[in-house]
Every structure is written in C-alpha cells, then in structure tokens.
Amino acid sequence: MEQFTGMKNFEHKKNITRIVSLVLCAAISVLFFGCRLNKTDSKTEFVLGTVCSIEIPKTKTSAALLEACFSELRRLEKVFSANDASSELSAVNKTAYKAPVVLSENLAALLTQALDIAHKTDKAFDPAIGAVVKLWNIGFDTARIPAQSEIDNVLPEAIVENIKLENSDAGTTVFFTSEKVKLDLGAVAKGYSADYIAALLKANGVKSAVINLGGNVLTIGKKFFTNDNWKIGLRNPSGSADSVKLILSISGKSVVTSGIYERYFEKNGVRYHHVLDPKTGYPVKNNLMSVSVVCESSTYADALATGFLVMGYEKSIAFLKQSEKMHGEKVDAVFFFDDGSWKSTNDSIILDMAK
Ligand code: AMP
Ligand code: MG
C-alpha cells in the first residue's frame, strides 16, 4: 500500500454537472443513492461471495488504489471463507479442537470482536454455530432440512463458551474445547472487510467514499464534492430486490441489513432462510422480516443486524438501551415487520419513505 500514502490532493472542481442515479445491486438489500459524477472512480467485482463495489473521488492514483482494495478483499476472502476448503478459517476448523492454532492478524482481530459481540448478545449472534450452518447448507444446491438428531448432536456444544482465544508470544491463538465447534463468520466478515477497506482508503487520504459489500454499506465523510449526507435506500422486505421502502440520510456511518429473504430454500411450501436461531438450530421465526443497523463500525452493525433478527424487536430495543448506557455506543436500527410495518429507533436518520 506504500505507493498510495500521501495521496492527499483531490480535484475538487465545483459547479460541475451532477447526475444523481440510483445504483441497484441485484443481490443486496440496501440500495445506495450516490452522486454519479464523472469525477469519481469506481470498481465492482464478485468477491466475498457477493457483488462488491467501491467508489472514491477520481485522482491519478484512484484506479490503482481501487485495485489494491479489491486485492485486499480477495485476500480477506481467503482468510474468512467457511466455504473454501483452503481458507485460513477452514484450516482452523479442522484442527483447533486438537491443539491451539496461531491466527493471522485479520482473523485474530475479527474473532476477538465476534466473541465479544456473541457474549453481549447472549449468543443470538454466535460464530461457533458453523456446524449447524453446514447441516442446512442454505444457499447451496445441497440445502436440506437436517434430522433433529443431527441438530441435537452438534447444537449444545456449538457455542461461544467453547472457543478460547489467547495471546501468547507466538501471537493470538484459538482453541476449541469441543470438536463440535466450527467457526462461521458469514454474519460479520463483510462488515469487518468494509471497516478494513475504509481504514486503507483513509490512510491513503480518501475523505469521501462508499464501500458496498453486497449490501453492507459503509460511507466515509460526506457525499462526493458536497456537504450533504449520503442517501441509502433500504429494501422493502416484502417487495422485489429493487424496491425501496425507506431512504436513510447518513454520513461517515455504516448501514447493514440482515433479512430473511436474502438466502433461503423452500420445501413443501415452507421457506427455510439462512439466519439460524442458536437456541433451536432452525431458521429464526418471529415477526421480523429484516433489521438494518446504523453505526460507525460496520463489523458491529453486521453482527448486530444478524443478532437482532434472532433476538426479535423487544429484546433488541432493550439491548440498545442497555449498550448505550454501558458502552456509550450510538447505534440505531430500523425493524421491518411481516405485516408490512416498520419501526426505527431514530426517525431523524430517515429522510423519506419511498412510494
Ligand atoms: P447475515 O446475512 O449477516 O445475517 O449472516 C448470515 C450468515 O451468518 C448465515 O449465512 C450463516 O453463515 C451465519 N449465521 C446464521 N445464523 C447465525 C447466528 N445466529 N449467529 C452467527 N452467524 C449466523
Ligand atoms: Mg450480519
């Protein structure tokens, strides 16, 4: 990344023609309304199992910086993927119940945060649930309803308490106290990657950017060449992939949505989606269709969006009140219910209701 440090001067030419366009990403639940200027540079690629795009102001080095960002995303995919047998995570899952495994810096950093959030959410979000996720295999051709005996065999021990992280001279190590623990970071890896890329962009002088990793949106600063907030469209969970229900107005924050419509399969008229309730090992069932979380950290927003979908509305609201009191973290959320209604913890972030 060295070649980019010091890239501080952007061409801020005002009074140029601005075309506002709605950028829709088919696989995502959050839509981004950006300022499509001919003075920005963007790149889109399929990585981390989804469509990812990054947009930054155009400079002499912006194209190379974007290439560097995507090369980092491809590297992070090789660290975090639970579906790639050659990833670092897969190697950890194979042996960490036999002996402690030394983790790379990225895996150690994400796992440290993930374990903390698992404890805070009382395991509504729990990255130890990987073996149960694999039983269902939702999102793959081999998706199926596991036998109750298969769930019972792994679920009681697929819990965060069976993951031991330690710092030693060799670095951070992880050890599983049960063979039934398999890590799955699918609910936080995009959030972490967005935070990581944002740090990389900021270190290279970028003051305004949108990082959209399959609907995990992270904004840096204000909208390109303006003092305006970014407008982020939230998908109508009961509508098609391109229907927008609400438009949020944010700057320098992340918006992450977890929805029961994102990945699922149907059997005998019943829909089985990809967010599992760690208490039952089954796709979570309550009156929520989706939850969007807004806060500075995309890692936190990603984990909480998944956790809130599991916790349901009331518990999530209690969690938010408690966490703001204890940790001073300003986190907002928008909840979409199965009767078509929605509730927000902060109406000032809602700019508009789409028709
Ligand atoms: P997200 O779309 O961010 O809500 O993440 C969903 C993905 O996280 C699933 O596809 C699983 O890989 C994994 N997952 C499912 N249920 C949970 C859970 N309760 N806690 C943590 N990860 C989960
Ligand atoms: Mg998530």
The confidence score (pLDDT) of residue 20 equals 23
Q: Which residues contact 119 (CB under 8 A, 6 or more apart)?
A: 160
- Compute the distance from residue 9 Cα to the ligand 1 centre, in Å: 40
User: Which ligand neighbours the alpha carbon of 258 most closely?
Assistant: 1
The confidence score (pLDDT) of residue 174 equals 98
**Choice from 120, 151, 260, 274 to test ligand 1 binding pocket (greatest atom count within 8 A of CB):** 274
Ligand 1 touching residue 302 (CB < 6 A): yes
Q: Give the position, in ligand 1's atom list, of the atom nearest the Cα of 139.
A: 10
Convert the pLDDT of each residue in 139-153 to its tens digit.
999 999 999 999 999
Mean pLDDT calculated for residue range 51-78:
98
Is the pLDDT assigned to residue 249 strictly greater than 90?
A: yes
Q: Which residues contact 301 (CB under 8 A, 6 or more apart)?
A: 191, 216, 254, 255, 256, 293, 294, 295, 331
The confidence score (pLDDT) of residue 31 equals 47
Convert the pLDDT of each residue in 169-196 to its tens digit.
889 999 999 999 999 999 999 999 999 9
Ligand 1 touching residue 187 (CB < 6 A): yes
Q: Give the position, in ligand 1's atom list, of the atom nearest the Cα of 263.
A: 10
Q: Any idea how long the chain is?
A: 355
User: Which ligand neighbours the alpha carbon of 263 most closely?
Assistant: 1
pTM: 0.90
The confidence score (pLDDT) of residue 17 equals 22
Q: Which residues contact 306 (CB under 8 A, 6 or more apart)?
A: 124, 125, 187, 188, 258, 275
Ligand 1 touching residue 125 (CB < 6 A): yes
Convert the pLDDT of each residue in 78-127 to its tens digit.
999 999 999 999 999 999 999 999 999 999 999 999 999 999 999 999 99
**Choice from 115, 255, 276, 300 to test ligand 1 binding pocket (greatest atom count within 8 A of CB):** 276
Amino acid at 31: L
The confidence score (pLDDT) of residue 214 equals 94
What tokens does 210 get? Answer: 């949108």
